Structure 1
Amino acid sequence: MIRNTCKPLFDANASAGGRDLGKLPEWDLTDLYPSQDSKELADDMAWLEQACANFAADYEGKLTDLDATGWLNAVERHEKIEAIAGRIMSFAGLRYYQLTTDSDRTKFMSDCQEKVTVYTTPLVFFTLELNRLDDTVLDDHFAANDALARYKPAFDRIRAMKPYQLSDEMEKFLHDLGVVGDAWERLFDETIAGLEFEVNGEPLNIEGTLNLLTEQDRPTRQAATEELARVFADNIRTFARVHNTQAKEKEIMDRWRGMPTPQTGRHLSNDVEPEVVEALRNAVVAAYPRLSHRYYALKAKWLGLETMQVWDRNAPLPMETTRTVNWDEARDTVMSAYAGFDPRMAEIAEPFFSKGWIDAAVKPGKAPGAFAHPTVTDVHPYIMLNYLGKPRDVMTLAHELGHGVHQVLAAGQGEMLASTPLTLAETASVFGEMLTFQKMLDGAKDQAERKVMLAGKVEDMINTVVRQIAFYDFECKLHEARRGGELTPDDINALWMSVQAESLGPVFEFMPGYETFWAYIPHFVHSPFYVYAYAFGDGLVNALYAAYQEQPEGFQDKYFDMLKAGGSKHHKALLAPFGLDASDPKFWDKGLSMIEGFIDELEAMEG
């Protein structure tokens, strides 16, 4: 039950890249601890060691003897342990992600992780003994104590793992062994952060190079894509080793636990039924011709191309003006959109900008991508960006700030119930993007600007829905193939290419070297099968936003209640007040029809 809060999931001082972006904010981590050698941190580490030992001494082998009040005391003590362990690992992890190439930060995080793992190993008994109790025993305790009954959703999620639980000794062994798997993730992170590229004579890290794929100049996009392919190829054996090892470790775990598929564990942690995910996946794949194939054919026409290359996929439109959005403008745009929906949303978002809760600049050694890390419920979230002043970076800010608002609102649920399943974790982030997009669209000064904005939104949605489901299919194939033996880099390359043409459509050609582009996607390593949560979140938000447009009266209060619920309710219960049901196969068609409608409008503009 101890969450490993040093590993935020990536969503993918000086001004960056020579651009004048204004003063970019940096993290102030002192709300967690004053420094890595502070007395406060040392005291918490000592407290954690003793608290875990005391907890095990008081409760191991005795859970069956507890009454409802005793159970409530145990849960509250466990939550306090989670909070302290999470605070320590959040501090160590965030410092590390600021500068992954710094050996002192790497050592500090690794040392913290090892100590926390050792200290919390005695707690493994708690979930094991809990899962040996009869349902009737727990139900009686819940009926006897309302304060304890509040935790029932967390207990239900733990007990969903009951059929896959191993012996106490094995579970403790696996808990201890977790730091070894983490080492492979760190190898991936440090390899990615340390990659060096050169485009048009300019040395760049991976974030700066990927950024060039959205440049107006086509030769620059081509040069950046070819340079990415060259560097990935030079490092492909390392990436293949990481993926082989991680996939094999997962296969061993799944086999020992008796999980029927590689995806089962993710579905359980997401509190979502496999058939719901399958319905989502099938709906998106069936819509490829209506969405990505149709849009990219339209884009090829705008670009004056008969065939698109991979470096054209995220190209700006010819009629799009190349401009840099400075930080103040990005902040004002997003905050205005949030306030326009509900002033409470902007009030929650404001401290992120004023109190050092955002780290925005691109810096050497900083982890690529973006994330919002909730830390622990008695502190606050932190947002990491790699802000380069692109219009899409504004949408990334809107996205991560949505996560942050969600995490602030859910914190009232406490450590056991605040975290939402990944499928629901994307709700507020994608909704924040939609609010920002609609605000910008309403302000379009003419049809040409509206066209550019609509096209940009369609591309973002295709990247969120189509691309992520293609990623999910790739992962399914990868893990299935790994069960048959070691995969060579060429094997993995072939699996990657098998999903690309299907998802992107016949207008694309794929240059030699593109087959290695699976190598830099962090989700495949950090959190297998995470990616379908993006498509789930986008479809859910499209349906939510349609409900908002149809019936705005009272929507805000229902929306805030949904975010405040955190992980305390199943997706059916959360969506019921809006008249929505994700288990209905037609639900996904509603979300996809919004994307289709935007493409319809773009096609009509051609007429």
Structure 2
Amino acid sequence: MKQPLSLTWELESIFPGGSSSPQFEEFLKQLEADIETLRQQVAASVSPADSESTKSLDSVIELLQSCSGRLIQASEFAGCLGAQNQQDKGAVRLSSKVTGLRAGFEGISSQFDNVLRQTSDAVWTEWMARPEIAPLAFVLSESRDLAREKMSPELESLALELAVDGYHGWSEHYETIVGSIQIPYEDEEGTKQLSAGQAFNKLDDEDPKVRKAMFRKWEEAWGGAADYCADTLNHLAGFRLKLYKGRGWEDVLKEPLDINRMSHTTLDVMWDVITKSKPALVSYLQRKAKLLGMDALAWVDVEAPVGKSSGKIPYDQAAKDIVTQFRKFSPKLADFAEHAFDNNWIEVEDRPAKRPGGFCVSFPESKESRIFMTYSGTPSNVSTLAHELGHAYHSFLLDDQPLFNQNYAMNVAETASTFAEVIVSDAQVKAAADPEEKLALLEAKIQNSVAFFMNIHARFLFETRFYEKRKEGLVNAEELSALMEEAQKEAFCGVLSEYHPHFWASKLHFYITDVPFYNFPYTVGYMFSTGLYRLALEQGASFADKYDNLLRDTGVMTLEDLVSKHLGVDLAEPDFWQGAVDLIVADINEFLAMTN
């Protein structure tokens, strides 16, 4: 692996010229023309009367996949431009253009789904059995079943068109709010204004005075924007609820569960196992407070480091460590990570105007990924880097699949990413020779459990209750903060001395329109990946191939069927989930023993 590594990613090979790229403009122009061709083809399509007539729809399905892949390519490129510089007005314009194209495409897809819906069961069975179509049978059947639960194609198309300036427009408005956030920070050079992303990193500072002072300013800044955020969140939820009502959907979790291809039973069983395990986490948080000289931890102290790490971890060292640990599990995974580093797929520079948070996007046309984050040298940053590389590896394994079969659900996406995290964090803990270093690494690992079992549980509780309350009318900023704090107290079992009432305003995930309930799939992925890691420890080197095969099937199976096929496990039973929790509790017990 070449070093020193670049701190900024390379987007020129995707489309040269950034938001002024002539090639990207031409790409969008051709895509728009092809979407119009697709519209005409779908408008002329009728439900096949027999197996022979299904062949006339092969070209439509092919063009659907082609347009879908290019829309993803365009959307991710525009998103990367906006993330690297929130002041890039050209990126905002391009994002709006792509959103419009996507709405048109989704309307056409909805019309094609109606063709699928109206096909008789007998013809459908023969159609899906054709060798050319059989690989797509799961996705097409899924679309057909969902179409039967939606409004008429005309109403669905209208809803998608209205969503451009309504639903998605409010989501983009939130990005504008985030871009306007400026938080003052004093250091030896004087007072400077930090972006939301830069200020967020200060909340993890080792110095309690720094993080507590920043938390006050953070809460104050988001409190100042709370009314705008409340308007945005209310209108996003209102649009979604009206759409659900039109479709006859009562349960707000129906869509996110369908998207994640999992049952309500599986989700309930998982949360039940987690809730029963929380006393161990409470013991950990209480011990941590004692170690930090506090009666109880505040929200901003939950991720404060314990033990003495070797200081800030340089980016090059983090990359080297990640590749080393990946190689112990799978040379294929390690080689892929090296390729990502060497080819500048990763943006980590700490600078103003960047979007907060981290993400990974994949470009199906280029068969490449890009990773975005702001790296400041903390163990948490290293975990984020490994996490996003896990996402990229998952996409890499599906590069040779039909485009429709590359659309895996968020929960299994989070499985691949979190599994990569566990590989790195567990290996680091085991390799640490110095007790203080070992304690710091173990504690950082346990922090992930707190995040997935408590923080994300709080988000899930908040969002579920918010949607129920929103059915009755608008929910103002003060009520949203009260709901948020109530959910945090419940999820953290009341163990903290102070909470984060404006978390609902500061967290991007509540404002994402592509995927509703952008919370519980993280915990599903974490629990699933931990369960997989337990099996990897038991089965040794042979598990790497089984893991890859499981990931390759994530786009063509429900979660329950995926696990049954590759692991022989029933997720409606608590055993698999309990096995994952047992590994986590073992880490907590080791931490308690080391600090006794």
Instruction: Using structure 1 for the length normalisation, give the TM-score.
Output: 0.91
- The answer to which of 298-307 and 99-108 deviates more is 99-108
CA distance in 1, matches of 2:456, 2:450: 9
Q: 1:152 to 1:255 in 2, by over 3 A?
A: same
Output one character per residue of 1:542-584: Cα deviation in whole Å (capped at 9) or x when no partner: 1111111111152111111122224122223432323333222
1:165 aligns with 2:157: no
Q: Does structure 2 conserve the Cα–Cα contact (< 8 Å) formed by 1:410 and 1:419? A: no
Deviation at 1:241, TM superposition (A): 0.6
Q: 1:547 to 1:432 in 2, by over 3 A?
A: same
Q: 1:122 to 1:419 in 2, by over 3 A?
A: closer
CA distance in 1, matches of 2:450, 2:595: 20
Partner of 2:269: 279
CA distance in 1, matches of 2:108, 2:589: 59
Q: For 2:290, which of 296, 301, 304 is the aligned residue?
A: 301
Partner of 1:386: 374
* 1:482-521 matched pairs, under 5 angstroms: 482-510=470-498, 514-521=500-507
* 1:32-431 matched pairs, under 5 angstroms: 32-35=14-17, 36-38=19-21, 40-60=23-43, 61-65=45-49, 67-118=53-104, 121-143=107-129, 145-180=130-165, 181-200=167-186, 201-291=191-281, 293-317=282-306, 319-321=307-309, 323-376=311-364, 378-431=366-419
**Which secondary structure does the structure 1 equivalent of 2:227 belong to?**
helix
Q: Which has the higher contact order (CA 8 A, sep 6+)?
A: 1
CA distance in 2, matches of 1:265, 1:229: 32
Deviation at 1:207, TM superposition (A): 2.1
Structure 2: 5+ residue stretches without partners: none
CA distance in 1, matches of 2:67, 2:441: 47
CA distance in 2, matches of 1:131, 1:326: 55
Partner of 2:13: 31
CA distance in 2, matches of 1:541, 1:592: 11
Output one character per residue of 1:102-154: Cα deviation in whole Å (capped at 9) or x when no partner: 222212321333245346644431112212223332111122x1220110111
Output one character per residue of 1:386-429: Cα deviation in whole Å (capped at 9) or x when no partner: 11111211111000001001111112222211021111111111
Q: Does structure 2 conserve the Cα–Cα contact (< 8 Å) formed by 1:196 and 1:204? A: yes
**Which secondary structure does the structure 2 equivalent of 1:469 belong to?**
helix
**Which secondary structure does the structure 2 equivalent of 1:487 belong to?**
coil
Partner of 2:571: 582
CA distance in 2, matches of 1:141, 1:64: 9
Q: Does structure 2 conserve the Cα–Cα contact (< 8 Å) formed by 1:494 and 1:515? A: yes
Q: 1:223 to 1:553 in 2, by over 3 A?
A: closer
**Which secondary structure does the structure 1 equivalent of 2:193 belong to?**
strand
CA distance in 2, matches of 1:487, 1:303: 38
Output one character per residue of 1:430-462: Cα deviation in whole Å (capped at 9) or x when no partner: 111111112211220133322221111111121
Q: 1:450 to 1:163 in 2, by over 3 A?
A: same
Q: Does structure 1 conserve the Cα–Cα contact (< 8 Å) formed by 2:269 and 2:574? A: yes
Query: In the comparison of the two structures, how many residue pairs are matched?
Result: 582
CA distance in 1, matches of 2:194, 2:21: 35
CA distance in 1, matches of 2:527, 2:106: 38
Partner of 1:447: 435
CA distance in 1, matches of 2:574, 2:173: 40
Counterpart of 1:585, as a letter, is P
CA distance in 1, matches of 2:334, 2:5: 21
Deviation at 1:499, TM superposition (A): 1.4
Counterpart of 1:310, as a letter, is W
Q: 1:146 to 1:110 in 2, by over 3 A?
A: same
* 1:448-463 matched pairs, under 5 angstroms: 448-463=436-451
Deviation at 1:29, TM superposition (A): 1.9
Deviation at 1:240, TM superposition (A): 0.7
Deviation at 1:232, TM superposition (A): 1.0
Q: For 1:597, which of 583, 586, 591 is the aligned residue?
A: 586
Partner of 2:543: 555
- The answer to which of 161-170 and 117-126 deviates more is 117-126
CA distance in 2, matches of 1:169, 1:193: 36
Counterpart of 1:586, as a letter, is D
Counterpart of 1:297, as a letter, is Q
Q: 1:119 to 1:405 in 2, by over 3 A?
A: closer
Q: Does structure 2 conserve the Cα–Cα contact (< 8 Å) formed by 1:372 and 1:383? A: yes
- The answer to which of 182-191 and 500-509 deviates more is 500-509
**Which secondary structure does the structure 1 equivalent of 2:406 belong to?**
coil
**Which secondary structure does the structure 2 equivalent of 1:382 belong to?**
strand
- The answer to which of 548-557 and 474-483 deviates more is 548-557
Counterpart of 1:283, as a letter, is V
Counterpart of 1:418, as a letter, is Q
Counterpart of 1:596, as a letter, is V
**Which secondary structure does the structure 2 equivalent of 1:30 belong to?**
coil
CA distance in 1, matches of 2:554, 2:568: 19
Output one character per residue of 1:271-294: Cα deviation in whole Å (capped at 9) or x when no partner: 111111122222223322232x12
**Which secondary structure does the structure 1 equivalent of 2:534 belong to?**
helix
CA distance in 2, matches of 1:542, 1:313: 22
**Which secondary structure does the structure 2 equivalent of 1:480 belong to?**
helix
Q: Does structure 2 conserve the Cα–Cα contact (< 8 Å) formed by 1:413 and 1:565? A: no
Output one character per residue of 1:26-60: Cα deviation in whole Å (capped at 9) or x when no partner: 22223332235555434433332332333333343
For the aligned residues, what is the CA RMSD? 2.1
CA distance in 2, matches of 1:41, 1:507: 52
CA distance in 1, matches of 2:574, 2:199: 40
Counterpart of 2:177, as a letter, is T
Q: Does structure 1 conserve the Cα–Cα contact (< 8 Å) formed by 2:84 and 2:355? A: yes
Counterpart of 1:84, as a letter, is R
Partner of 1:543: 531
Instruction: Using structure 2 for the length normalisation, give the TM-score.
Output: 0.93
**Which secondary structure does the structure 1 equivalent of 2:571 belong to?**
coil
CA distance in 1, matches of 2:26, 2:503: 45
Deviation at 1:310, TM superposition (A): 2.1
CA distance in 2, matches of 1:116, 1:588: 38
Q: 1:255 to 1:193 in 2, by over 3 A?
A: same
Q: Does structure 2 conserve the Cα–Cα contact (< 8 Å) formed by 1:403 and 1:425? A: yes
**Which secondary structure does the structure 2 equivalent of 1:33 belong to?**
coil
Q: 1:281 to 1:540 in 2, by over 3 A?
A: same
**Which secondary structure does the structure 2 equivalent of 1:554 belong to?**
helix
CA distance in 1, matches of 2:32, 2:209: 57
